Structure 1
Amino acid sequence: MVSRRAVLLGVGAVVGLGASTLPPRAVRRRIEPCAEWGARPPVEQPVSLSRKPERIIVHHTATENVADGSRQHAHERARFFQGLHMDVNDWGDTGQHFTITRGGVLLEGRHGSLDALLAGDRMVEGAHAFGQNRNSIGIENEGTYIDQTPPAVQWDALVWLCAVICRQYGIAPAEIHGHRDFWDGTMCPGDAFHALLPRLRAEVALI
């Protein structure tokens, strides 16, 4: 039996998500759970909140815009981000709920986020945006987007993931925001990426 955490999310997927909740994308996409990319155990068990998130917050990682789109690279980056958040930021786990690499690989970031998304009636408390960690889903996008835009494969994965999150939790696409919208001390997700948010909302609304 396919586990809920290893579910394929896409056209025809039936495990955990009904067909009517999924964006009608031609390509099948998969969110890889923490166990598959070699995540460390969290310092504390994720705090599960019996509420739905109200919005999505888009981030960039402010790391190099590499050309490597492989799954191996995605796993290495996920472990790096988790280590940075736990060992440098002193957080209990990866801060954001999901990560998308420049190659379009979709990864669960914070433990418990994928199960909560599949359930659609709860969320895991994040550590990605001060004041928003208990009412928003954080998506981190690998790269730096101050004067560059995300590659198409990463963008398409982001549109798809946002659509799934919006449908599962009943979030309006208008509630997709950038990190800087809630904290003026950051440039995240970068000027070029932030300028694309109206397009992101529009594309998510269409599917």
Structure 2
Amino acid sequence: MAIPKAYLTSSKNFPLLLDAIKSAQAPDVFNLRFLESLGFTSSNDRLMVGVLQAIGLLNSDRKPTDLYFRFLDQTQSEIVLAEGIRNAYKDLFQINTNAQNLTRNEVINKFKMLSQGQYSDSVLDKMGLTFSELVKLADFKTKPAIPAAAPDDANDDEPADEVAADPPRRASAKSSLGGLHYNIQIILPESRDPKVYDALFRSLRDHLL
């Protein structure tokens, strides 16, 4: 069941916390001391840390995740938040792909069905409140920016069109020795008999050509 158990009892400070996170340096660990340094000191504010874990901004050790660092980019924050909500409430979005548009009562009824009576009405009401407030802060319409594909380093030194334009070399059709060419010098014997030369050239033809 992909329904976070974390919930808020009051949602008024959660948007302020997200704004404070974007303006602060990411901590090594998002503990209560760091939360208080951002100005959130009430016991209700502590519940927000669990929600940050539920939506994937913090891991189980309360350390910032990759999603947290992506959230710091204020041009992408709302889009990243929507991604975290979809992952956290996966089962709800499988039932309704546009679960962000459900009313709070509709969300509570879906949670009641998915949890199979595991939670009390009071807890379900707070879980519905938490989800409804979260989706108000997120952008579900805009798709995340896709990084440009890295250039292929394999052809950095030699453009592809030049490689294609250079056809493989062919062995000479006249060669009978694998494309190797030899210069053979023959010292002819002195003779007045043309048959000697005929026999010599005939032998060359038979053995070399």
**The structure with more helix, counted as a fraction of residues:** 2
Using the size of structure 2 for normalisation, the TM-score is 0.28
Higher relative contact order (CA 8 A, sep 6+): 1
